[in-house]
Amino acid sequence: MSDDDTTLFPSNRPEWRLLAAAGTIVGCLTAVWLPFGIIGFAGFLYLAVLLRPLAPVSQPDDDYVRAPVDGTILSVDTGALNVDGDEVTVICLRAGSFSSQLQSAPVRGIVDSVIWFAGVFKTGKDGTQMSNAARREFIFETDSGHHIGFIQHGDSYARLLMGFVQEGQRLTGNEKIGVSLFHARLSIIVPAQFDIKVTVGQRILVGETVLASLAPLSAPQH
């Protein structure tokens, strides 16, 4: 049997490291005082629910941008400008409280860049994202040459933002690209010419709901 077959934390399950760390903490709490261990075990079970594997979804080679998580659309901001001054649309969404917090690649293509922006883990008084909040930004280049942005936002609750992909990596659309704990906001940034297929308040399903498309679809996908 090869070394790869006996790896404790397989490369396709990076979330196992989080579960292993949580299990170690639960063991320590149990050794200190049994009630602490019971509370810690309950937290471990909730973490296991949040990190449950994503069901594989077959995705065609197209210009569809699909939901990276199960959750809800928070806002759709058309007419925004990116750092290069180009007009884009920003789709903000949030994963469900009991949905898997693992994030699937929203498009097929190449990971163009992964950038960490240090900042505060705090939510604005009106509940909106603060401009100086911590975040991790991914830029993907599709096979047709379009650039799609994906942002993990840190806030008062979401203090653990992890990325599982590297620059130059090719994505087929089924890879886990990261995780945000807990209940974090996410943003998808698409070129202005893309046709937006979702509305505010809409429930979305990972890998199935089409958020935006370069080619018009007959109807919104749920």
* 169-196 per-residue burial string, b: 16 or more CB within 10 A, e: under 16: eebebebbbbbbbebbbbbbbbbeebeb
In the chain, where do the E strands start and end?
64-66, 71-81, 87-95, 102-104, 109-117, 135-141, 147-153, 160-163, 170-171, 176-181, 185-191, 195-196, 203-204, 210-213
Mean pLDDT score across all residues of the chain? 83
Fold of 64-213: Glucose Permease (Domain IIA) (2.70.70)
Q: Domain boundaries in the chain?
A: 14-50, 64-213
Which residue type, as a one-letter code, is found at position 167?
E
For the cut 70, the answer to whether the pLDDT of residue 13 exceeds it is: yes
Helix axes 34-50, 16-32, angle to 10 degrees: 170
Q: What pLDDT score was predicted for residue 160?
A: 87
For the cut 50, the answer to whether the pLDDT of residue 8 exceeds it is: no
pLDDT digits (tens, 9 = 90+) for 173-200: 778 999 998 878 899 999 998 999 999 9
Q: What pLDDT score was predicted for residue 1?
A: 37
pLDDT digits (tens, 9 = 90+) for 147-156: 999 999 988 7
For the cut 80, the answer to whether the pLDDT of residue 5 exceeds it is: no
Q: Which of 122, 147, 145, 149 is nearest to 133 (CA)?
A: 122
pLDDT digits (tens, 9 = 90+) for 82-129: 767 789 999 999 998 888 889 999 999 999 999 999 888 777 666 566
Q: What pLDDT score was predicted for residue 66?
A: 93
Contact indicator for 79, 87 with CB cutoff of 8 Å = yes
Q: What pLDDT score was predicted for residue 60?
A: 57
